[in-house]
Structure 1
Amino acid sequence: MPLRLLLILGALSAFGPLAIDFYLPAFPAMAHAFASDVEHVQLSLAVYFVGLAIGQLIYGPLADRFGRRPPLLVGVLLFALASLACALATSLEWLIVARFVQALGGCAGMVVTRAVVRDLCDPIASAKVFSQLMLVMGIAPILAPLAGGLLLGSLGWQSIFVCLALFAALCLLAVALWLPETLSREAAPAPLRGALGEYRRLLGDRPFIGHALTGGLSIAGMFAYIAGSPFVFIELYGVAPAHYGWLFGSNAAGFILAAQVNAWLVARHGPGHWLRRLVWFYLGCGLALLSLAMAQPPALWPLLLPLFGCIASLGVLLPNATACAMAGQGRHAGSASALLGSLQFAIAASAAALVGALHDGTAWPMAAVICGCGVLATLASRLTYRVERRARPS
């Protein structure tokens, strides 16, 4: 894939992480500005998650009917305008509504990026490209809060959303100038009235659903880690808030490294081969993490090694599960990408909520949810492999 196209797709993939992580340091300042508290400001994050889950289901059929470019251009423009609305918000209610609209625009990049990769690449090449795009998912959570903190200290919280709007404007220009239409026009466009039928077909596609669940349950472990690690690291084991970023960053570095190694591995055995094997490694690390958490060690370091293994293995599991799920979807790749993203995001958000619901003042809830995700992901992977093996001609 040409470098320029890869850079555009990487930028489009960054909408989600940037809009989530960029403004996290500004929560206290925003709470003060709106005469509220941090807990209520967090609603603007929750509503963004809801918008992502809903919006992806809308863009999928649009991308299959009208092509990849038109829905993407509309979505990026909507994200830019909603980001400006967030910067101009005079009340928390205004901000929450603007964040929901921002999510509806931002998820266009997530859906269309996967569809474009599927249009242009076979499963092995797709896995390589998705592995390269994992750089964005790994780097953005490290750099976004740092950049947000710098902007907050110098220009105020509104500047964060102005920067998101400028970023979206640059992406809009890049898409308009350099992103070609990748949907083949050889076949008739998919009618919008068939969208629900297409989603029903995909839900009945057992290999697709199996790979989607494997990836979704795997990434749910990361969401459980994101939800639980601030308490475990800072409050339970006394890690200084300034040092938390270094621990978080080291796990993200493992994720990035594994993703780049995966781009080399899939050329030898294909994404399905490594997906089936690395899911067992993820499960083993999850079991080790749960065992150690139940022992309640007096120091944090025993938990760090299996936790690092869990997060790093996602650099292999996520791109390969995506490539396997998208394989064979053809001109319905937009709908497949949308359902894939919505399923994975719904599972991951549920895992993060479960960590909070199980909170008992120990590391056990985080470890238990991560381990449970590993068990279910391994089961989904094994069942999917059996379905695919039975479907092969003898």
Structure 2
Amino acid sequence: MKRHGWLLLLGALCAIGPLSIDMYLPSAPFMAREFGSEGQTVQLSVVSYLVGLLVGQLLYGPLSDRHGRKPPLYVGLWLYGCSSVACALVDSAVPFICLRFLQGLGGCAGMVIARAIVRDRTNAVGAARAFSLLMLVVSVAPLLAPLLGAAVFQQWGWRAVFGGMGLFGALCLTAIHFWMRETREANTTSRFSWLGIARNYGRLLGDRQFVVYTLCNGLLQGGMYAYISGSAAVLMNVYGLSPRHYSWVFAANSLGMIVAAQLNAVLTSRLALARIVERALWLPAGLGLAAAGLDSDPSIWILLIGLFLFLSSIGFVAPNAAAIALSNHAENAGAASALMGTMLFVLGTLSAIATAALHDDSARSLLIVMAICSTGAILVFYLAARQRTID
């Protein structure tokens, strides 16, 4: 594929994750009633899907290093498409929850291998630009998915939503087969073993540059997950925003990340990637410490501006940190991408759990978790990242 066509296709693969979660949420209450259960069915189906994502990432990465990028993609997209269609056909909660696990197990292939393909095709600076463009898709998909899911549900019912997911998976599979070239030849000379995979992950964890920049990225995105999990309760219950106004705030913050990521693509030709990360980390760290030190909840406008700036900074940190972390791992980019995705997922999940556990009908729990995440990111950077970096 020429020019940016390959990036558009990778963006479609990365969009599978948010689409598979957010598209069916508008129809969740109706699904629960049809299954004869309460809301916990839908909640368990989300957890099941996320567990599938977590497990699958660690499998597809090493497999793509061994067998090339496209064969594992074929398997993952086929599994995703079939399980999506099966979700549309079930009539009870337990099979639906199990199929959601398989859906996550298949859908994560695109997310993991997309990063590896970027590393295969570009150097560190080119990867930062590519990841900046991919953030456009990753940020827009959660905004459009509920709208698309609601429209499909109102017209044809919730089963059509999952049928649409299966169709999307089939289209991605077809596009990968005909329009994307293989970026890594198969290497089956060495014997496959689970112990070898574990050792490979151990070597990655011993790479200071990989670990530090992944932690910086993951901790800052942990603040974003805290915002996603706790902002609705804070802004609507504490500050009294209506659901409509909250959706505007959520959209504005997503737009901030998108614009920042596109600006970052321009800055990469003028500044070293590590320098951009360093400067961008100061903003959320300062905001987090200032907010955590308040004796009472800030005014609504101060809170909204602070959240916007905090989340926008991710657009400068995430693409560059990912590019630097993968830069030394051309030979095992799949495994490196898988471990990176797993670390980001775990840190994000822990921050979301902490936000929920500390919730006290004020904004302080959300602000404290975001402050811990952003302060942790900049401490990791200054304590370790500068010992080995790319200028």
TM-score bracket for the superposition, by shorter chain length: over 0.9
Gap change, CA 1:288 and 1:146, over 3 Å in 2: farther
- Maintained 8 Å contact 1:57/1:335: yes
Task: Measure the CA separation in 1 of the matches of 2:232 and 2:218.
Answer: 22
The residue matched to 1:370 in structure 2 has which SS? helix
Gap change, CA 1:304 and 1:14, over 3 Å in 2: same
Structure 1 segment 194-205 matched on structure 2, within 5 A: 194-205=196-207
Gap change, CA 1:234 and 1:190, over 3 Å in 2: farther
Q: What code does the residue aligned with 2:335 have?
A: S
1:189 offset after TM fit, Å?
Answer: 5.4
Structure 1 segment 121-140 matched on structure 2, within 5 A: 121-140=122-141
- Maintained 8 Å contact 2:226/2:351: yes
Total equivalences in the alignment: 388
Q: Percent identity?
A: 44
Q: What code does the residue aligned with 2:330 have?
A: G
- Maintained 8 Å contact 2:18/2:142: yes
1:219 matched residue in structure 2: 221
Task: Measure the CA separation in 2 of the matches of 1:234 and 1:271.
Answer: 38
Task: Measure the CA separation in 1 of the matches of 2:136 and 2:177.
Answer: 24
1:85 offset after TM fit, Å?
Answer: 1.4
Q: What code does the residue aligned with 1:21 have?
A: D
1:290 matched residue in structure 2: 292
Q: Does 2:4 align with 1:3?
A: yes
2:91 matched residue in structure 1: 90
Structure 1 segment 270-289 matched on structure 2, within 5 A: 270-289=272-291
Q: Does 2:188 align with 1:157?
A: no
Structure 1 gap segments, 5+ residues each? none
Task: Measure the CA separation in 2 of the matches of 1:144 and 1:290.
Answer: 33
- Maintained 8 Å contact 2:280/2:317: yes
Gap change, CA 1:28 and 1:190, over 3 Å in 2: farther
CA-based RMSD: 1.7
Q: What code does the residue aligned with 2:21 have?
A: I
Q: What code does the residue aligned with 2:154 have?
A: G
2:358 matched residue in structure 1: 358
- Maintained 8 Å contact 1:79/1:103: yes
Gap change, CA 1:228 and 1:200, over 3 Å in 2: same
Q: Does 2:324 align with 1:311?
A: no
Task: Measure the CA separation in 2 of the matches of 1:300 and 1:324.
Answer: 37
1:243 offset after TM fit, Å?
Answer: 2.4
Q: Does 2:265 align with 1:268?
A: no
2:372 matched residue in structure 1: 372
Task: Measure the CA separation in 2 of the matches of 1:180 and 1:148.
Answer: 32
Gap change, CA 1:215 and 1:151, over 3 Å in 2: same
Task: Measure the CA separation in 2 of the matches of 1:138 and 1:289.
Answer: 25
Once the two structures are superposed, residues 169-223 of structure 1 have per-residue CA deviations (whole angstroms, 9 ceiling, x without a partner) of 11000000011110156x7756532211100101111111111111111111111
Q: What code does the residue aligned with 1:347 have?
A: L
Task: Measure the CA separation in 2 of the matches of 1:54 and 1:155.
Answer: 33
Structure 2 gap segments, 5+ residues each? none
- Maintained 8 Å contact 1:64/1:189: no
TM-score normalised by length of structure 1: 0.95
Structure 1 segment 14-53 matched on structure 2, within 5 A: 14-53=15-54
TM-score normalised by length of structure 2: 0.95
1:149 offset after TM fit, Å?
Answer: 1.6
Structure 1 segment 98-113 matched on structure 2, within 5 A: 98-113=99-114
Once the two structures are superposed, residues 35-68 of structure 1 have per-residue CA deviations (whole angstroms, 9 ceiling, x without a partner) of 2222332111112111111110000110011000
Identify the range of structure 1 (24-33 vs 5-14) with the bigger mean alpha-carbon deviation: 24-33
Task: Measure the CA separation in 1 of the matches of 2:290 and 2:4.
Answer: 40
1:270 offset after TM fit, Å?
Answer: 2.6
Q: What code does the residue aligned with 1:92 have?
A: A
Gap change, CA 1:88 and 1:108, over 3 Å in 2: same
The residue matched to 2:166 in structure 1 has which SS? helix
